[in-house]
Chain A
């Protein structure tokens, strides 16, 4: 249930996620050590195009990567295939995308609460 296109999409999304995850962890350690408060952190991320792109591409990569991975598990475990398997794949991808987008807006949109 994994053709070349899905396989490559999953690998490329992993390639995108790897440095972003490391960057995210590094920033977290830096912020905690520096004793930054939530307000101070949001003050830097909200309205920043850099952080919007940073976390935006992370959310996008996660949605693609996890949807394809779960598609394989769902197929091999529950035998789902065809239209139902495609809907589950898209459903998972879009759910993660919307959850991630909400967080992205909250952290990087100027003036978001």
Chain B
């Protein structure tokens, strides 16, 4: 054990959606080391063809998410020693998404659903209008603010078993974005959001399993946001009769 203390045994997924396999790499262990550091080391010193994605390295951009030992994580803020199993760690592309190559998942579906859920902002005022005041204590604003720290890393999407079983389901990130905009007084298409999330892939497919909330690296709560959408759509159903 002592002789091998300085290296990690890292299995990395190599391949695309149409096929591939895990490859093993020996990576020097450091006192302070993130999963992203490990992946970068492999690309710099072991195999330059390894494909992966990152940008900010500080948990802001949301581009570095991968499956680490079977769980979705932001790799730039995941310390190796927290997830290590013995000396081993397994790194794979995000679940529930097609793979472009190696660790780079294809995010197109994820963002298409984000737009389909009504997630594109439509301002209520133009550039030359006075800025409408926002009261940060207002309860609707508090609800909207609860979800604005989403970095679109797709970790919740990868964690969601309903997405796995139902490819049309919009997923937690898109629905949380919809709930945020629904509660944002500066959003102009709030009624349209309830229509957008009421279709066959909408918020009503959620089984409230809560993996999204458990795995969100920013401690957001998409499950409750989706519950909010269910509540509002039901309320409107009783008011309008469908």
Q: Residues of A at under 8 Å CB distance from B? A: 1-8, 11, 72, 75-77
- Which residues of B are found within 8 Å of A11, using beta-carbon distances? 234
Given the interface pairs A8-B234, A8-B237, A76-B162, the reply to whether A3 lies near B202 with Cβ below 8 Å is yes
For residue B51, CB closer than 8 A to chain A, the reply is no
CB distance from B86 to the nearest CB of A (A): 35
Residues of A within 8 A of B204 (CB): 2-4, 6-7
* Inter-chain contact total with CB atoms closer than 8 Å: 37
Q: Which residues of A contact B233 (CB under 8 A)?
A: 4
Which residue of the partner chain, among A6, A7, A76, contacts B166 with CB atoms under 8 Å? A76
Given known pairs A8-B234, A8-B237, the reply for A2 and B165 (CB within 8 Å) is no
- Number of B residues near A (Cβ < 8 Å) is 16
User: CB-defined interface of B150-189 with A at 8 Å, one 1/0 digit per residue?
Assistant: 0000000000001001101000000000000000000000
Question: Is the CB–CB distance between B166 and A5 below 8 Å?
Answer: no
Q: A1 CA to B166 CA in the complex, in Å?
A: 8
Q: B205 near A: Cβ within 8 Å?
A: yes
Task: Point out the residue from B165, B166, B200, B234 that lies within 8 Å of A3, measured CB to CB.
Answer: B200
Give residues in B with beta carbon < 8 Å to A.
162, 165-166, 168, 198-202, 204-205, 230, 233-234, 237, 242
Contact sample, A vs B, 24 pairs, CB 8 Å cutoff = A1-B166, A1-B168, A1-B201, A1-B205, A2-B200, A2-B205, A3-B199, A3-B200, A3-B202, A4-B202, A4-B204, A4-B234, A4-B237, A7-B204, A7-B230, A7-B234, A8-B234, A8-B237, A8-B242, A72-B205, A75-B166, A76-B162, A76-B165, A76-B166
In the bound complex, how far is the Cα of B241 from the Cα of A5, in angstroms?
10
Q: How far apart are the CA atoms of A6 and B204 in the complex, in Å?
A: 9
How far apart are A16's CB and chain B's nearest CB, in angstroms? Answer: 16
Q: A1-B168, A2-B205 are in contact. List 7 more A-B contacts (CB 8 A).
A: A1-B201, A3-B202, A4-B202, A4-B233, A4-B237, A5-B242, A76-B166
